[in-house]
Amino acid sequence: MLREFLDLIIMQFKVIKAYLPLMIFYAIFFPLAFMLAFGFISMRSYYPYILSGTITFYMSIGIFVTVSQSLGYERRSGRFSLMVSAGIPKELYALSIALGNGISTLIMIPIVIIIGYFLLHVIVKSILFLLISIITSIFTSSMLGITVGLGIKNFYAVNQYSQIIGFVLTFFAPVYYPITYIPIPFRYLTLLEPTTYMSQAIYNAFIGSSFSLLWSLGVIVYGIVLMIINSRVLKSI
Decide if 119 contacts 42 (C-beta within 8 A).
Answer: no
141 in helix, strand or coil?
A: helix
Calpha distance 98→131 (Å, rounded): 18
| Count of beta carbons in the 10 Å neighbourhood of residue 187 | 14
What is the H or E stretch that residue 57 is in?
helix 47-57
Residue 103 is which amino acid? I
pLDDT in tens, 145-160: 999 988 888 888 998 9
The whole-angstrom separation of Cα 96 and Cα 14 is: 12
* pLDDT tens, position by position, 61-85: 778 888 898 888 888 888 777 777 7
d(CA 138, CA 127): 16
- 5 has pLDDT over 60: no
Rounded to whole angstroms, the Cα distance separating 127 from 165 reads 30
Range name among 25-34, 105-114, 153-162 with the lowest pLDDT average: 25-34
User: What's 183's DSSP letter?
Assistant: P
Q: Do 220 and 139 touch, CB atoms closer than 8 A?
A: yes
Query: Predicted confidence band at 119 (pLDDT cuts at 50, 70, 90)?
Result: confident
Identify the pLDDT of residue 10: 65
Q: What is the pTM of this model?
A: 0.85
Asked if 176 contacts 190 with a C-beta cutoff of 8 angstroms, the reply is no
Mean pLDDT lowest for which of 29-33, 69-73, 108-112, 179-183?
A: 29-33
Q: Is 114 helix (H, G, I), strand (E, B) or coil?
A: helix
175 in Cβ contact with 53 (< 8 Å): yes
Give the separation between CA 137 and CA 85, rounded to whole angstroms.
32
